[in-house]
Amino acid sequence: MEDKNIVCKDCGKEFVFTAGEQEFFKEKGFENDPVRCPDCRRARKAERNNR
């Protein structure tokens, strides 16, 4: 597996979806690539926890 560059859906910044993360996603049964960068993912998670 190779690292993938993905453009974040939220901020438009390019981030790397590493081979290790892809492996992790596969293990967890996620079929789709992430659409958000780690920063935006964290921000969304924090927002959810605030409610």
Site string for Zn ion, 15-44 (x = CB under 5 A): ----------------------x--x----
Ramachandran angles phi, psi of 35, nearest 5°: -105, -10
Ramachandran angles phi, psi of 17, nearest 5°: -95, 100
Among 3, 10, 14, 33, binds Zn ion (CB under 5 A): 10
* CA dihedral (44, 13, 27, 19) positive or negative: negative
Kindly state the smallest distance separating residue 40's Cβ from Zn ion, in Å. Answer: 3
Residues that bind Zn ion (CB under 5 A): 8, 10-11, 37, 40
